Structure 1
């Protein structure tokens, strides 16, 4: 069954929009290494991973995040983490991710036991994290909160680069369920392969943990993945994204309460007012990816590509904006934990 699914997923790379993913047969260097690890430890090179392939460092960062939070065999069950991934994806209105991870959750033992955890993830996905007891132990926080951060990141990338469903529109409605169940069952390591925490960290250089993610420190693998992924994605952006654009995104996220802006784009015009014309396309796209990817238009992408035509640049900008937003959301978990501790004292 799995060889068939792998063939299907190779074809599904054609679903990726706006960029050309590196085909499996043409992968070299870091891209080939990530593809090989993903096939061995995840079962497939899924489109949400492959869409990063024009930017090898972003690809490695996305794989580290996914592997060390969702896939690695740690304290927290895969079912619990899939419940979090599904809830975050639903709150972010990412139907592609909901369909995939809901299908995977249905194949796992104990899938029905994580309702309170999914409810908590849903309530805390948008807006300030609620000051309420968490339905998990402190020792489980790195994996659970790490999974939440990973899917806040991936949801934003998927909304830009993939359609609403992994199943082609032409597929008969009656066949969608069986196809997704087949794909979900194939999303597992090769026989005899243990997904040991931390063994993929060498894909990216060591780096300090970003401020606000102290909840990850007890788990060296999760902390290492977050630190290395953020540092690598930031470094790629710093090489070419104009400083005023980077400063603007950080300024907007610092005061953002998590509520999705809209329904008009007045907020975007106000946020970018006063920027040089040459910085506007990158600034608009970065803010949209971070705060409301549903509002991205073809015109936004065309204006960006007129100045930055390479696929690598589009992936790097989107990856940086999405991960910066996800880290800001992750930092709110630490803020809430401090307020709960103060209240208890």
Structure 2
């Protein structure tokens, strides 16, 4: 639980009950970040729809790439909650702990040029958005990324900046029990 009141799963009714039940059926349990929205079920549903589209729908980026963006952005923002969740998800696609640490802490040191370019774009958009220019998009195109892929990189980056601020601004925290056990 964070710094504001929440409606726990055991007390959810109406639209919130429906959302919680759907999330549990699909993901196995309700993440704390979703519980933080419980006072606004309509907002929660829109947030969840955007998350499912950006992270799980068929699209121009792999799940591995999307999760890597989530980790890099969340680390740049100092959002331990999202780093923990999405590093765990990334482990489903990447077993090398050194690589995982590099994605989190030093994406500029990645050996894979495509992923490095993606994560450097995401990190710069996160920490210095006013310095973005066409040159950053050109660096992605130089690695063979299409405009549809660039758009998805941008959207996933923007989404995690949004979610990081929800978690940080409302005191949403994760522990090992919170992070484990989601259907990926």
TM range (shorter): 0.7 to 0.9
Pick closer, same or farther for the CA change 1:39–1:95 going to 2, 3 Å.
Answer: same
Aligned residue in 2 for 1:79:
64
- Residues 237-316 of structure 1 mapped to structure 2, 5 A cutoff: none
- 4+ residue segments displaced more than 4 Å: 109-113
- Are 2:55 and 1:54 equivalent residues in the alignment? no
Residues 176-233 of structure 1 deviation map (CA, whole Å, 9 limit, x = unaligned): 5xx57x71xx3225xxxxxxxxxxxxxxxxxxxxxxxxxxxxxxxxxxxxxxxxxxxx
- Residues 172-183 of structure 1 mapped to structure 2, 5 A cutoff: 183=180
3-state DSSP class of the match of 2:127? coil
Task: For structure 1, list consecutive stretches of 5 or more residues without a partner in the other structure.
Answer: 1-14, 168-175, 190-345
- Are 2:120 and 1:119 equivalent residues in the alignment? yes
State the alpha-carbon separation in 1 of the partners of residues 95 and 59 from structure 2.
Answer: 16
Q: Which has the larger radius of gyration?
A: 1
TM-score (norm 2): 0.74
Asked if the contact 1:30/1:60 (under 8 Å) is kept, the reply is no
CA RMSD, aligned part only?
2.4
Pick closer, same or farther for the CA change 1:143–1:33 going to 2, 3 Å.
Answer: farther
- Are 2:165 and 1:166 equivalent residues in the alignment? no
Asked if the contact 1:34/1:63 (under 8 Å) is kept, the reply is no
- Are 2:182 and 1:187 equivalent residues in the alignment? yes
TM-score (norm 1): 0.42
Aligned residue in 1 for 2:27:
42
State the alpha-carbon separation in 2 of the partners of residues 85 and 41 from structure 1.
Answer: 20
State the alpha-carbon separation in 2 of the partners of residues 42 and 115 from structure 1.
Answer: 29
**Number of residues of Structure 1 aligned to a counterpart in Structure 2:** 160
- Are 2:89 and 1:104 equivalent residues in the alignment? yes
- Are 2:3 and 1:17 equivalent residues in the alignment? yes
Relative contact order higher in (CA < 8 Å, ≥ 6 apart):
2
Aligned residue in 1 for 2:163:
154
- TM-superposed CA distance for 1:144, in Å, is 2.3
- Are 2:148 and 1:139 equivalent residues in the alignment? yes
- TM-superposed CA distance for 1:125, in Å, is 1.2
